[in-house]
Structure 1
Amino acid sequence: MTRAIMLRRLLVTLVTTLVLTPPSAIAEAESGPGPIAAARAENRNGARDTWTGSWEGAASGTAPALPGASIRNVVHTSVGGRAARVRLSNRLGTAPLQLGSVTLALQIPGAPARPGTVAGTMRTVTFGGARSLTVPAGRDVVSDPVALTVPADANLLVSVHTPADSGPATFHRSALQANFVAPGGDRTADEGGAAYTTTVGNWYYVTGVDVLGPSTAGSVVALGDSITDGTGSSFSADHRWPDRLADRLRDLPAGRRPGVLNAGISGNRVLREGRGPSALTRLDTDVFSRSGVRTMIVLEGINDIKGSPEVTDPLDLENAYRLLVRRAHARGIRVIGATITPYGGHSAYTPAREAVRLAVNDAIRTRRIFDAVADFDATVRDPARPNRILPGYDPGDHLHFNDTGMRALADTIDLTAIVPTGAARHP
């Protein structure tokens, strides 16, 4: 395929997305309607509190509905606040989604594999004042503010009861987190977890949590594939590289600490649909709609290079990156580009694909595509065999990263590129 044809298809995809995406019920990050706007108030120091994205799980596909069940999703905050709001999605569904009830609570600390709540933290989540609602197919919703003090670096329980079969359930396939299902009846308000007898590794319906607090740093979104999604890291441990980045940022004063949102989808591609919409077509829903986004980190491209059909011209990815950056800059968002990490030894590796990866990385480093560069490739490659990951970072598949490797990726990022002292450079 020629570059001209590829660019025409990219533009068609972009225009189609902008025209056909239905109006979102997602509230604006800084001035949501009704009770959300009313909840913005002065904190004890007289400063205005703002909404910040604290957690994200990008919608990646659908699973069979669980009619009559209650689903307790476990999500991990990056920053805290004095109130929260929950984002739920029927974006990929084909029928109206009936939500009988939704609750929010803190999970018992140190028990990520248990569905019990901290006593006294159970809250009913409402939508325009109603405890139940129907979400049209293709739509997202944001809850009313929930009066709950949310700590940073804590687990929240978002429990959802679906009383009827509403068709395919929008979910995040690879949560790397134990979530729980109570098979019969509305158990969303249960403080104990005895009714939640089934464990699943997916997040159902919930796609985000915002918090209300004094931070003026906004949030950073990690847009990526399975490496960002956490494949290779420990289960129910929050050791994905965006989690490790949040750990580093936690050393900053609360007012300068941004939230970290993980928009990774395993199998995702920049140019084509794979698992989940392509990076180009999901910018609006997974990045721009999120609260307070100031920075985006892009680690995508390996699935375009090694997938089928594969990208053979590095310029195709470079042009796509530039389109991502232009769209982000139009929203005032700075963009950090990460180099593509090695995968020598993986079954999809070939010398020809390696040549494309190296050329793409050279463009990321030298052609001023992004506002800043995180050279993940330089950090994790084996000096003796630079087409491979260092053995100490390799979980065994020669593509993804173990907990040590995830920490190394997070440590590569220059924090001043996320929380700069001056304005971002727009090439």
Structure 2
Amino acid sequence: MTRAIMFRRLLVPLVTALVLASPSEITEARSAPGRGAPKPAGIWTGTWEAAASGTVPAPAGASIRNVVHTSVGGRAARVRLSNRLGTRPLQLGSVTLALQRPGEPRSPGAVAGSVRAVTFADARSVTVPAGRDVVSDPVALPVPADANLLVSVHTPADSGPATYHRSALQTNFIAPRGDRTGDESGAAYTTTVASWYYVTGVDVLGPSAAGSVVALGDSITDGTGSSSDADHRWPDRLAARLRGLPAHRRPGVLNAGIAGNRILLDDRGPSALTRLDTDVFSRAGVRTMIVLEGINDIKGTPEQKDPGVLENAYRLVVRRAHARGIRVIGATITPYGGHAAYTPAREAVRQAVNAAIRTHRIFDETADFDATVRDPARPSRILPAYDPGDHLHFNDAGMRALADTIDLRSLVSTAYGRLPRPAEVRAHLPVRPLSPRSPRPARRP
């Protein structure tokens, strides 16, 4: 091989990555750490994510306390805040990070002594331009895995519509007046909301080289149908399975689900194709992406009637991910027979798309969610034991079944990308017998 050929092979991936870099990523890179901030040793890993799904009027002069749940822990953290969908510069007077009191998911109170000021290039306040995200300086707060954090922000002035994640399935809090971000007591937070405001991610610093896994999806990934304030979405359940591994081998799990999301068209939030840069590629340590998208394209308005169009969209997602060194697991689209939007013609499209996912080698690996949750007696419907009543989404048992479908060997890697042998994974994973109420996943067809 000539030196010229070797140079081109090294240069092409680098140029591709630069071309695909989003403006948000560039803003984030310039904002952290500040000049006076230490450069901590270790590896940054995403522990929590919420994708920006829209905007909502923001209460000027208020403090908002967001409750977020970690998948992995670390000895320090940094916070991602977004004005991505805003129309005016966002003024943040102060931001803090704290641990929520254990066992109190509906409480705005912080663990005593855990409140930390969050800075941006060493400043306590920051103005985020419209259309941009910002990442904080490192925050010296040990963060446990499987714990709730409080991300509190104070907006001293009217900055226009707030970028938010609408369906949090988590109780969050507002103190209507003044800067209460430093409060340990939650007494001032007298109003509750069911959305996350401004905060779109938390990263942790630690020794793990396992990286993170991003679940890109719609309302099923967002958790619709599961219990509120319980962290029972299927990505949460996946993170719980991974906690059976040693901490240094455990990847973070990031939930990039948006209720109503489509892969092709903007609807509730930017389309999956539109938001790959901001919701996947800009996240810390991403090694793997799990894609569960397409049902809203099939049953939405306008509806997608051509399975080949969706297949081509999946292939584009995979090509863009591979350009970043990210492997992609494709999940089959789950049944929705009995839902108001169901028709035989749309079911035929779903079946054709699933057949392509299983047999056309679109993805690096396949997670057959459809085979796991469908009713063998009525394959167009989900099992009654998993149905919260709308025949489309999943209850807590269904969310667990989806998470259990993922082969953990496809997620666990070292810094050099070697996948462990099955025995290595099994040696560290707890054995979970199937309960009588959780039917055994169906075999792949």
Structure-2-length-normalised TM-score: 0.87
Q: Does residue 135 in structure 1 map to residue 137 in structure 2?
A: no
- Report the alpha carbon displacement of residue 25 of structure 1 after superposing the two structures with TM: 1.6
> Residues 112 and 35 of structure 1: is their aligned pair in 2 closer, same or farther, counting only changes over 3 Å?
farther
Residue number among 14, 20, 27 corresponding to 2:29 in the alignment: 27
Residue number among 118, 126, 138 corresponding to 2:119 in the alignment: 126
What value does the CA root-mean-square deviation take over the aligned residues?
Answer: 1.7
- Report the alpha carbon displacement of residue 24 of structure 1 after superposing the two structures with TM: 3.6
Identity score, percent = 81
Q: Does residue 82 in structure 1 map to residue 84 in structure 2?
A: no
Answer with 414-423 or 138-147: which moved more: 414-423
Matched ranges for 1:295-310 at <5 A: 295-310=288-303
Residue number among 225, 234, 239 corresponding to 2:232 in the alignment: 239
Task: Specify the alignment match of 1:183 in structure 2.
Answer: 176
> Residues 333 and 36 of structure 1: is their aligned pair in 2 closer, same or farther, counting only changes over 3 Å?
farther
Task: Specify the alignment match of 1:265 in structure 2.
Answer: 258
Offset from partner CA, 1:86-136 (integer Å, 9 cap, x none): 000000000010101000000001100000000010000000000011111
Task: Specify the alignment match of 1:8 in structure 2.
Answer: none
In the alignment, the residues of structure 1 paired with residue 105 and residue 179 of structure 2 have an alpha-carbon distance, to the nearest angstrom, of 22
In the alignment, the residues of structure 2 paired with residue 83 and residue 36 of structure 1 have an alpha-carbon distance, to the nearest angstrom, of 16
**In the alignment, is the contact (CA less than 8 A) between 1:68 and 1:163 conserved in 2?**
yes
| Runs of at least 5 residues in structure 2 that lack an aligned partner in the other structure | 1-18, 420-445
Offset from partner CA, 1:239-275 (integer Å, 9 cap, x none): 0000000000011111110000000000000000010
In the alignment, the residues of structure 2 paired with residue 212 and residue 296 of structure 1 have an alpha-carbon distance, to the nearest angstrom, of 21
Q: Does residue 277 in structure 1 map to residue 279 in structure 2?
A: no
> Residues 295 and 23 of structure 1: is their aligned pair in 2 closer, same or farther, counting only changes over 3 Å?
closer
In the alignment, the residues of structure 1 paired with residue 22 and residue 328 of structure 2 have an alpha-carbon distance, to the nearest angstrom, of 26
Offset from partner CA, 1:114-167 (integer Å, 9 cap, x none): 000000100000000000111110110000000000000000000000011100
- Report the alpha carbon displacement of residue 302 of structure 1 after superposing the two structures with TM: 0.1
- Report the alpha carbon displacement of residue 419 of structure 1 after superposing the two structures with TM: 1.4
Q: Does residue 40 in structure 1 map to residue 40 in structure 2?
A: yes
- Report the alpha carbon displacement of residue 406 of structure 1 after superposing the two structures with TM: 0.1
**In the alignment, is the contact (CA less than 8 A) between 2:34 and 2:120 conserved in 1?**
no
Offset from partner CA, 1:159-214 (integer Å, 9 cap, x none): 00001110000000000000000000000000000000000000000000000001
- Report the alpha carbon displacement of residue 37 of structure 1 after superposing the two structures with TM: 8.5
Answer with 31-40 or 280-289: which moved more: 31-40
Task: Specify the alignment match of 1:216 in structure 2.
Answer: 209
Counterpart secondary structure, 2:409: helix
Counterpart secondary structure, 1:405: helix
Residue number among 190, 195, 201 corresponding to 2:188 in the alignment: 195
Matched ranges for 1:1-400 at <5 A: 21=23, 24-27=26-29, 34=34, 38-41=38-41, 49-400=42-393
In the alignment, the residues of structure 2 paired with residue 37 and residue 257 of structure 1 have an alpha-carbon distance, to the nearest angstrom, of 28
In the alignment, the residues of structure 1 paired with residue 39 and residue 21 of structure 2 have an alpha-carbon distance, to the nearest angstrom, of 32
Task: Specify the alignment match of 2:437 in structure 1.
Answer: none
In the alignment, the residues of structure 2 paired with residue 267 and residue 146 of structure 1 have an alpha-carbon distance, to the nearest angstrom, of 34
In the alignment, the residues of structure 1 paired with residue 281 and residue 170 of structure 2 have an alpha-carbon distance, to the nearest angstrom, of 26
**In the alignment, is the contact (CA less than 8 A) between 1:36 and 1:144 conserved in 2?**
no
**In the alignment, is the contact (CA less than 8 A) between 2:23 and 2:132 conserved in 1?**
no
In the alignment, the residues of structure 1 paired with residue 247 and residue 343 of structure 2 have an alpha-carbon distance, to the nearest angstrom, of 47
Structure 1 segments of 4 or more deviating over 2 A?
17-24, 31-40, 420-424
Give the partner amino acid of 2:300.
G
Offset from partner CA, 1:208-254 (integer Å, 9 cap, x none): 00000011000000000000000000001000000000000011111
Give the partner amino acid of 1:245.
L
Counterpart secondary structure, 2:119: coil
In the alignment, the residues of structure 1 paired with residue 36 and residue 325 of structure 2 have an alpha-carbon distance, to the nearest angstrom, of 23
In the alignment, the residues of structure 1 paired with residue 100 and residue 88 of structure 2 have an alpha-carbon distance, to the nearest angstrom, of 31
**In the alignment, is the contact (CA less than 8 A) between 1:50 and 1:213 conserved in 2?**
yes
> Residues 19 and 223 of structure 1: is their aligned pair in 2 closer, same or farther, counting only changes over 3 Å?
closer
**In the alignment, is the contact (CA less than 8 A) between 2:216 and 2:256 conserved in 1?**
yes
Structure-1-length-normalised TM-score: 0.91
Counterpart secondary structure, 1:406: helix
**In the alignment, is the contact (CA less than 8 A) between 2:220 and 2:259 conserved in 1?**
yes
Count of residue correspondences: 399
Give the partner amino acid of 2:409.
T
